[in-house]
Amino acid sequence: MDGIAGIAARMAQIQALVAPPQAAPLTTSTSTFASALADEVAKTTGSTGNVASAAGAARAGASGAPARLNADGVPVELARYGNGRIPESALQKVGGTGERLWAPAAQKLEQLMGAAAKDGVHIGITDSYRSYAAQVDVAQRKGLYSQGGLAAQPGTSEHGWGMAADLKLDAAGQRWMRAHGAEYGFVKDTPRESWHWAFRP
């Protein structure tokens, strides 16, 4: 921890040096700061890791992809594909299941399921990423929210962005999710669907 505390202290010093209040635009000071930080990290840890990996790790925790949303609340790296039109290769499998989600959501859900299992609680997945065509099918079978049903308008579902999973939960599983889901970024945002959990990074 001394190393990390040392880096934090040096970061503050470097920031003061390279980004005084009257200094250049943020982009300039940020990149200057980034390279100074990289040097400092390499000195302190003896590693040759670059600042991109250091910054990525800081953003996402010890492991995992960075979770960034655009102004529409959509994963930055998936936005170009469109809701329900994301190729499998751009999504990540949730552990050993065949289910796929946006990478940060998949990683957190895998961690969540592991933690629940340690508590003796089994959490299964019944649905995850959903294609546009699959959402059309669900809407036909379950009806739209706007008409009292249980499906989002195709093209608007959180499933279409790989940001929600439908979970198979018994009573213990429901209790566990309500107690711990948010620790992994999963929240219940759909009142009538106890199974639907959305990822909010």
Residue ranges in contact with Zn ion by CB under 5 A: 166, 196
Q: Which is nearer to Zn ion, 38 or 159 (CB)?
A: 159
Tally of residues, the chain = 201
- Rounded least distance, CB 36 to Zn ion, Å: 46
Nearest residue to the partner Zn ion, using Cβ: 196
Both structure tokens of 66: 């960075």
Contacts of 117 (CB under 8 A, 6+ apart): 123
Q: Which is nearer to Zn ion, 37 or 169 (CB)?
A: 169
- From CA 112, how far away is CA 99, in angstroms rounded? 15
Place of tokens 């003896």: 46
- Rounded least distance, CB 89 to Zn ion, Å: 23
Least Cα distance to 169 among 119, 124, 127, 118 occurs for: 124
- Rounded least distance, CB 17 to Zn ion, Å: 50
Q: Which is nearer to Zn ion, 41 or 165 (CB)?
A: 165
Q: Which is nearer to Zn ion, 25 or 148 (CB)?
A: 148
- Rounded least distance, CB 128 to Zn ion, Å: 9
**Which 8-state DSSP code applies to residue 160?**
G
